[in-house]
Structure 1
Amino acid sequence: MKVFISSLITGMEAERAAAKHAVELLGHEAITAEEFGARASSPQVACLSGIREADLVVLILGPRYGARQGAGVSATHEEVLEARNRKPLLVYAQSGMDAEPEQAALVQEIGGWESGLFRDVFESAEDLGRKLPSAIYRFGVSHASAPLDPTALRSRALALFPPIERGYYQGGVVLQLALAAGPDTTVLRPAEMEAQSLLDNMHQQALFGRPAIFNRSIGMEASFDGDARVVSQGERRSDGASVSLWPNGDMLISLPVPPAEGSMGFSVVLQENVAEQLAAALGYAAWLLDHIDRTERVTHVVPSVRLVGEHAGAWRTRAEHMASPNGMQVPWRQGEHQEPVLLSQAHQVRQALTMDAQRIIEDLVVLLRRKWVN
């Protein structure tokens, strides 16, 4: 395993040496900027390439932020931004430090990430050297699984969507989030899939999570569809919400998109409503994955989204609709608007579901809009 060590270099020499020793003690390869040697690329490109090459990033934060680079942030901060949606992170912050304002803001930014990374504090280089080996070892054990196959993972995400039958969705527009989890492994045994505790927790989060994805005034049903555990509300053949979970961590979440008001019989898709439902679906998916796989056997995911609605009309922003609720053009379609969309790099590290959710939502909404409008 290749481990990139990210921190300021000047003033953090002892901590970096301790981290390097911990990595090599376990038989892994440490990637450090000090050992890059002469390269044709700039130090910035070399460091960011080192992160892309690594399997794990160890981030060490002391009191100093460092000089701002061309991107407007310090070199370490830029490494954080590069790693946060691509690589697993082990974060260590020095305890009791009198941090510079920019460094305090960076620590707060990292601390605001809801989940998906290991965080700890250290008092000295020696303390860091004692803590790191066990953390790296636990990471290696929890991620020891079959090799990741991004192409197969992408195909599996698309295969999670059920066929669209004419008249299947009667009640308007439904957003469907398919999430394929990888490497492909068994996360839940049959007995765990049937456990009442799993069902209770899925119901609880669906009703009372922030945001909730189920309507508290509507009853819920539980069933199995093949190997998938399904919890649903309303008619699954209309606009009811539902969650399907497979033993390998794959899931399909369907949520109705609230219709726009005052559209004179036309079904208008509001971009903000789509984004809100996608955010709710992603949040629930991240929670469910953490709930069923606390040791993180799943390291990567492929999210794919589609909007289903035979009689859907124009795509508009809320401001556009309020300005002219009846002045719209409905494009002529043959079903292509219901095809699923994927990110340009379909597979994402699992952490991205929480650490980079906003970017994922923004990009997927843009791709959905292109399908709907064109």
Structure 2
Amino acid sequence: MKLNEQMRTVLPQHNELLDTLNNLEAMAIGQSDRIFCNSFISEAIRLLINAIFLYEDGYFDCAFYSVRQAAETYNSMLYIANKGVSALKRWDEKNYFPMNSKLISQLSQIDTFYSQVKANVPEFFDAYEKATSKSNKIIHKQGFDTFYLPHQNPMCGIKIDKEKEKQFFAEFVTDTICLVIILYIVVDPISLVLADEELTMYFNFDPMSEPADMAFLSTHLDSDIDSKIKSTAYFKEFSQYFLEKEKMRPATFDVVRYQVFDLTHLDDIKSQESLLNFYEKLILALLISGIQVTRIHPDCFILGYTTSIPSNYRPTEWSSSDYDRFQNSPSVFNAPYHTIFRSIIKGPEKNWLLEHNIPFTTKEIERIRDIFNKFNELYGRLASAFDNYNL
């Protein structure tokens, strides 16, 4: 009873669309009052992925519905983000919630950035509305050419242009991805700051948000889409806040964003030490003192920081349990580990794991202990002052 083989097809854009969606799964929002948006983002991306496979397996109507639902999920996300916790609760408890058509009309009224973006790229939103209306004819089965029979049996007397439908579907998915990226920018403008090569250098910490995929928008929507969004009054005011901050040098940027210390530019990093967090300042002190480490894992966290010194160890896989067991273990230096050495020392909160290619000398060990003692003591004073302030 399953669909026969002739119903199956492959979209010419199959790899490009799935690669893009795979990358978009990393999109995240870090604002505490909008963390819930990450679930909506994940759901919308999954709906688009499902749509591609549904269409290629022959379930064309279900595929169009899944694409439309991805857009509606994002509209709901943006609406709730503006309305707050009460709207999220009503939505989650399945109480009254506006239908998509009402949502869209209200979004322009309640979200300034959304209304300005829509005004700057009206041709896209108008075209998307028309594409959605066209897809609704397929979803709601208006016309015999939307039935499965002519798709399964070309001899039934009902003519359909499968290639034309396939092209429309691919364009609908592509345009929905564009909409998803635009609404991601609207709900989290930091994503556009991060995507700008100049602005991102003024963003002096590592956010949860990811850069918006402006390359995809420019390729499939409008080469000027970037400037059109940035020219809105909302984004100009938003970005001005960051332009008043200190601009990071490339080496500092690598530390803050990518957790990488370039030993050939320690002076540059030192000149902007105020932009580093407490742990990064400790690592910088170690490196400036001449301690040759390849990786540093504060609190024995699996990710940690790397340096420009290539490690002699090339693991093919990692396990958090390999690091967790060091969190409360006794301090140890120069423990052989595969082709490198590991050292454990008490940090400001938990143990730190240092990886190095050659064993530390006695003098280096004393230097490491002195630096950690200094920072541990400083951290203790700062923590005590913070507790007293809260009291």
TM-score normalised over the length of structure 2: 0.24
TM-score, normalised via structure 1 length = 0.24
Higher relative contact order (CA 8 A, sep 6+): 1
Bigger share in strand: 1
